[in-house]
Structure 1
Amino acid sequence: MKKLALIAVALLTASGCTVRVADLTVASSKNFDLNSGKLVKGQRVSGEDTYPVFILPFGVPNMKTAIDRAIESEKCAVGLSDVVLSHLSHSFIIGSVGMRAEGDLIIDKNQPGCENKGV
């Protein structure tokens, strides 16, 4: 009986789910000119904002932070296209909660040092 209870607790702590919150064409927290002829599509990236949970979460995940972390993975990026926003909940007593932003980078070739970036 103790072994079964231990297995049940282990499975509960390892369980979790990821829920798709939104699908967006473009997402950015940066100012840029959408009509610029110098925007190109970059690689697919993701950014997360997560907090640990021990009975209660130690913070509130923020979607803007997740988007910013994805964009800031490349210095010439100004936004994301074909974006999927997800809520992460992998906790039962202990674990983590968070937000994930995944999308293709939008590279601005007008920025200094970015003339040869992108596809």
Structure 2
Amino acid sequence: MTYVSGGGAELRSAPAAVPPGERGATRIADRVVAKIAGQAAREALGELSEDASPPYASVVVRHTAARVRVHLELDYPCDIGARCGRVRRHVVERVGALVGMEVPEVAVQVERLHSETAHGAQQGRTR
């Protein structure tokens, strides 16, 4: 690259490009990835009963991979396996798209089931 400085011409070469390994990196905090995973789980589940707690996630990040554990409550009866599978797929898709991380593992932990028949009834056993 040539440019003029002051009254005389001065030749300078363009700065050398910095190799990718030396440029630095952006590190995304585990809690940010966990919030994104929790939001993705909420999106995948859609509407839940009013007494269900919103899903949340815990995450362990290593390099460019995130291992996710999602904790959720489901309305019952439902196809539990299908709903958990939908949550897994959506979490992998959203975390990958928004954070650019690989998600090799999403463990879904169903902490509580909410029975539709007991929705208006008092707490207790239902036969």
Q: What TM-score do you get using the length of structure 2 for normalisation?
A: 0.28
Q: Which has the larger radius of gyration?
A: 2
Higher helix share goes to which structure? Answer: 2
By percentage of residues, which structure has more strand? 1
* TM-score relative to the length of structure 1: 0.29
